[in-house]
Amino acid sequence: MTLEEKLGQLTQLGAGQPEFSAAVGLVGSVLYTTGAAETNELQRATLAKSRLEIPILFGFDVIHGYRTIFPIPLAMASTWDPALGELAAHIAATEARAAGIRWTFAPMVDIARDPRWGRIAEGAGEDPFLGAAMAAAYVRGFQGNDLSAPDSVLACAKHYAAYGAAEGGRDYGPVEMSEATLREVYLPPFHAAVDAGTGTLMAAFNSLNRVPATANRHLLDDILRREWKFRGFVVSDYAGVTEMIDHGIAATPQEAARKAITAGLDMAMWDNSFATLAQEVRAGRLPESVVDQAVRRVLRAKFRVGLFADPYTDETRAAAVTLTKEHRDAARRIAQRSMILLKNEGALLPLPKSGKTIAVVGPFADSKADMLGPWSGSGKPEETVSVMEGIRSVTAVSQAMESADLIVAVLGEEREISGEAASRASLDLPDDQQRLLQSLIASGKPVVLVVMSGRPLTISWAAEHVAAIVQAWFLGSEGGNAIADVLFGTINPSGKLPVTVPRTVGQVPIYYAHLPSGRPANPGDKYTNKYADTPIGPLYPFGFGLSYTRFEYSNLKLSAPSMTMNDRLTVSAEIRNAGNRAGEEIVQFYINDPVASVSRPVKELKGFQRVALAPGEVKRVEFTVTRQQLEFWSDRGWLAEPGRFNIWIGPNSVDGLQGSFELLH
């Protein structure tokens, strides 16, 4: 290969860019081009002009569905069911591959503990254990067992790394953090994605400890390749290489490109910066062997996805595998389990299917586009079910509140203020929605609040005054039907919060696994760790979610009072459905190291199980403790220290049965 041919393989452009028109036959990857006919036409033109006949790798943002749109990832994390995430990713891969796409820029596995950051919608929330489980599931779903199969696309775990910790929750902002926080909180989902076999990673926009991730050797080489043995390739985010000029670590695109590829970046997205590296090589400032290494990684991926064996897409296949009844049924099933019942005073829910007149109101009551959420692939509003349509399929709907017996208010955010470049300084209901809600309560009629959003909102007034609240997120193509299924009791809600819900934005960042203080919060003592103008703690804790039935926890057991470093210990409890209808409970397992050489979080999630129980049924749920679960990052690497550990099994991060055991040498 010539040097220009090599650098072309390391360049990703949009087909509409002038730079692409001038380099057809050289460019290695194209983004935002979809449809079998369109990708085939572009592939033919490329291969005709490519001396070595190297095909294009087509990439697209298939985040939570391609044409059949699933709940946003934050909502899918609310299922606490990685198998459902894997199913959604597999269906998305099937539809995307039929449209000529071989590579998705997903999953987004950033941990986010600041809901002001709009991209919290795209990930699994605040916890690394839950985040890692979902990350691995998505990779398995997208890639399957054979990347050349017609239902597989190359996954891209993003944004590597710590992008979710952007200062102030402002998108693209800098990140400063300790190595311990990086290793324990922000890297585990990426490591899980690598272990699951993700073919690619995307470097984050942000700087990490003053070095942009796009050229951060510690991330791209020390950890990713040397420690984790990653063999795929790393792509920049959109124009991420030339943005290093604004970061202040390069004066020219040429310098930025040299620093990026030297640090371990393999492909530049959009900015065509790697084309300038020919000058760097010929001037002796960049060894060509560095370029060769990156090219090998990219070509290896193209071989793995079967591009050299078959660079084209069957143009008849999409109609048979896109937006099928099977896919829509899966979208509905996942959406049903993504919703969280936050309040149900007086058992207002489920609603009766007859005998009552229901008014469905609010700016999102009949919105199809907003139901799709941000990054909705090729999803179409006209193929989406609104809340109004879903409820109307069950019972008669009145728009006149005066004649209604009860009100369903669908409030929240427009999809445009979630996702990328959608950071918010306020987490309140936008515009005049709070006044609308207050007027509905003032009517004296029972009100059910359905919250559609891409982040947790500060709904403290609603939590005090509204009888029933359902956090619905953005649920995708079948969202309206799924909401009706839950509101009318066809489905018993089982979702749990993957994030902490603050009372007010002033509490942010707020998360359950915080470090202890020398002066723990105490409402009776002024000089303790709290705010003076709001109650202690969140509005709703991480892991919280109600059901139409009631679960009781009892009879906590440990298999032994202690374990050695190489042992395993089991912890179990009995869960009983004490209500009168079947339901599913997400049982959660937490650990705390109360005395260590460094302060440890007050609780850390280390296990969870979804358990189905008939009325009156009892099941014993068991978790296993290993040394790895007790380790933390130190200046000597991963370390577990002997001593006493606390454990909890419960329905959320606050409540539950507590015990302890000793870790011995």
- At residue 205, the pLDDT reads 98
Beta strands 604-613; 583-592: pairing state: antiparallel
Which residues are registered as beta bridge partners of 604?
A: 591
Q: Provide the strand spans (E) within 118-190.
A: 156-160
Per-position DSSP letters for 426-439, written without gaps between them: --SPPTTHHHHHHH
Integer angstrom CA distances of residue 321 from 71, 96, 317, 538: 19, 10, 7, 44
Amino acid at residue number 371: M
- The confidence score (pLDDT) of residue 400 equals 85
What percent of the chain is modeled with pLDDT above 90? 98
Q: Strand 57-60 relative to strand 207-208: parallel, antiparallel, unpaired?
A: unpaired
Does the model's pTM come out above 0.95? yes
Tens of pLDDT, residue by residue over 525-534, are 999 999 999 9
Looking at CATH, the fold of the domain delimited by 551-663 is given as: Immunoglobulin-like (2.60.40)
Q: How far is CA 81 from CA 199, 280, 540, in A?
A: 23, 49, 21
Helix (H) / strand (E) element for 207: namely strand 207-208
What CA–CA distance (Å, rounded) separates 547 from 501? 18
Residue 608 sits at φ, ψ, to 5 deg, of -160, 150
Distance CA 616, CA 636 (A): 50
Question: Considering only CA atoms, which of 369, 431, 455, 440 is closest in space to residue 409?
Answer: 440
d(CA 364, CA 381): 13
Report the amino acid identity of residue 374. Answer: P
| Segments of the chain with pLDDT less than 50 | none
Considering the candidates 237, 271, 370, 593, report the single residue annotated as catalytic: 237
Write down the CATH number for the domain with range 59-291. 3.20.20.300
Map out the domains of the chain as residue ranges: 59-291, 322-507, 551-663
Distances (CA, A) of 401 to 126, 344, 352, 443: 39, 21, 17, 9
237 tagged catalytic: yes
Cβ–Cβ < 8 Å for 268, 10: yes
Q: Which fold has domain 322-507?
A: Rossmann fold (3.40.50)
